[in-house]
Amino acid sequence: MSGASDLKNAKLAIIGLGYVGLPLAVAFGKIRPVVGFDINAARIAELREGRDSTREVEPDQLAAAAQLTFTTDTTEIADCNIYIVTVPTPIDGHKRPDLRPLLAASETVGRVLKPGDIVIYESTVYPGATEENCVPVLERASGLHFNRDFFVGYSPERINPGDKEHRLETIVKVTSGSTPEVADKVDALYSEIVTAGTHKAPSIKVAEAAKVIENTQRDLNIALMNELAIIFNRLGIDTQDVLEAAGTKWNFLPFRPGLVGGHCIGVDPYYLTFKAQAVGYHPEVILAGRRINDGMGAYVAGRMVKEMIRKGIQINGARVLVMGLTFKENCPDLRNTKVVDVIRELEDYGMRVDVHDPWADPDEARTLYGIELVERPAMGGYDGVMVAVGHDSFGKKGAASLRCHGRRLHVLFDVKAVFAVDEADARV
């Protein structure tokens, strides 16, 4: 191996500068030459100005990455030796894996690939995708032969958007490579920045499988909590009270019910079920959990409607304020947010819905969902107020403050249990 064989002098290219790629580029950019590449010119422009719209990296952290440069020009990554691909892996309208961003990134890398180079994938995929789907694209675009001229690795991302405690450097990194020698090099590379340590998997498929089951496990645990919430509601029991009581046992897992969106938990299980079905197995438990979680938007909206009816509020034409649109608290990420399901369902009941979210980008909300965010919701103008996302700023305002947006007769629905049981009219 030449090129990347000299790990100390290797130059990196990070392909895709979103929630995963940018923190990675910044971490490496503090210690070695790195080129951050993205096809989004606006994204590159803001990063060059020292701004990160995802709010994952602070301006001082960007400035500290002295050896990091940004580009949309593929010729500027041609002299790199290690390429790390961190593009999204979404699902399509039929809930099937959409590998187009991943394969397009592989095509881009393949056009500049040289003998001795290493391509590392971090994007979540089903077991086998790196070698079965990405490697052929690299070979075709480069004219080189896999594991003779170039090599690949897989090191799944474990970024948790909005989490300031569990960061790239403090989460154990799983690594792997297409040969034992490359596996060692990939592991050594990440060991430069990950203080929590690394775990070298025995194969790329094992590393791929480990990643995809992490979020599948969380999805199933939350699905159980959501199903319990539906049962307890019918029994007239507050779910949060039950979970707090059960949580006094040392081995009870602290999962909570809610809307399951985002780019990981609500998407990754479909990658595993797709591959399982491709090899002739129908995964019943995983898909059952997905059905429960995918249906929570309609359930939450239905609960809101019932609470309003109990108070004698006319549903058709009612005005509702939804607080929060992002897929999780204290994070601007709008991808696959299930709050949209709640909004659409309320609108189907004939309600007029306003949405307020200080974390969300108004242009992105408009582009992705056709939703016009309300910057300053009217006081005293709503028949219902729903706290759909548990942003800290909502909790700090307090339930009484949020009730000021409601009419004399209104419902305050606390989806995320931000407030005490006696402060809201209903919780999930």
Provide the angle, in degrees to the nearest 10, between the axes of the packed helices 284-294 and 268-278: 150
Residue 133 DSSP code: I
Q: Count the residues in the chain.
A: 428
Element of type H or E holding 153: strand 151-154
- CA 130 vs. chain centroid, Å, equals 20
List 80, 134, 264, 331, catalytic entry: 264
User: What Rg, from alpha-carbon coordinates, does the chain have?
Assistant: 23
* Cβ atoms 44, 183 nearer than 8 A: no
In this structure, which amino acid lies at residue 317?
G
Beta strand 352-356 pairing with 382-387: unpaired
* Residue 421: other Cβ atoms inside 10 A: 13
Q: Which of 367, 336, 368 is nearest to 268 (CA)?
A: 336
Rounded to whole angstroms, how far apart are CA atoms 119 and 152? 5
Q: Which of 425, 402, 406, 428 is nearest to 417 (CA)?
A: 428
Grouping H, G, I as helix, E, B as strand and the rest as coil, residue 322 is: strand
- CA 370 vs. chain centroid, Å, equals 21
* Cβ atoms 126, 275 nearer than 8 A: yes
DSSP lists the bridge partners of residue 413 as: 386, 426
**Residue 264 appears among annotated catalytic residues:** yes
Beta strand 406-414 pairing with 151-154: unpaired
Give the residue numbers marked as catalytic: 264
